[in-house]
Amino acid sequence: MGNQTESKKYVPFGLRLKAFLWDYIFILAYIILLSGFSFFAQPFLFPLFRESPLSAEITGFLLITLPVSLYFVISEGSPLHATWGKRKTGIIVTDQSNRPVGFGRSLFRTALKFAPWELAHFTIWNMILPSPYSEQSLSFLLISDYVLILIYLISPFINKKNRTVYDFLSGTAIRYKE
């Protein structure tokens, strides 16, 4: 009986995915607003995406990754301990002892969560713009990124607590709000 109660504390992957899809509404709204802004800022922004892989990576990071990451960091590190999607699905982020996570741990968790995304951006920018990296190095990075994403996707299915790699590394878990 204790094991059944214990396992109910941990959220299945499907509910986590549903929470993320709700969050994606906010992300998509932000991207639509950003697209509108980008239309008017073309003369300033487009050269930043063509100048070099580094300037393209930094610009993309500042315009997309950083705001999206801050949404997760602030929401999950706040007293609510959850993004809008997690709140809508009744789940929260905690540490392993079921205590709330602070901003530091939330920042670390989010950085780990979005690392494959940024690795992909880095690699793609270096593939499409002139780059000092060899084709073999970039291919290795892209394959590594796919492997990392696969590990991230598989990890919740191979442990009883349904934790992802970034949950393990950051010492967090997704649980039902009590």
pLDDT value at residue 7:
45
Q: Which residue has the higher pLDDT, 75 or 39?
A: 75
CA geometry: angle 9, 172, 16, nearest 5 deg = 60
Domain boundaries of the chain, sorted by first residue: 2-176
65-95 as b/e: b if 16+ CB within 10 A = eeebbebbbebbbeebbbbebbbebebbbbe
> Is residue 170 pLDDT above 70, yes or no?
yes
> Is residue 84 pLDDT above 80, yes or no?
yes
pLDDT interval class at 178 (50, 70, 90): confident
Query: For residues 155 and 13, what is the distance between their CA atoms, to the nearest angstrom?
Result: 10
> Is residue 6 pLDDT above 60, yes or no?
no
pLDDT value at residue 4:
43
CA geometry: angle 118, 124, 129, nearest 5 deg = 125
Convert the pLDDT of each residue in 141-167 to its tens digit. 999 999 999 999 999 999 988 899 999
pTM of the full structure: 0.88
pLDDT value at residue 76:
96
> How much is the mean pLDDT over the chain?
92
> Is residue 3 pLDDT above 70, yes or no?
no
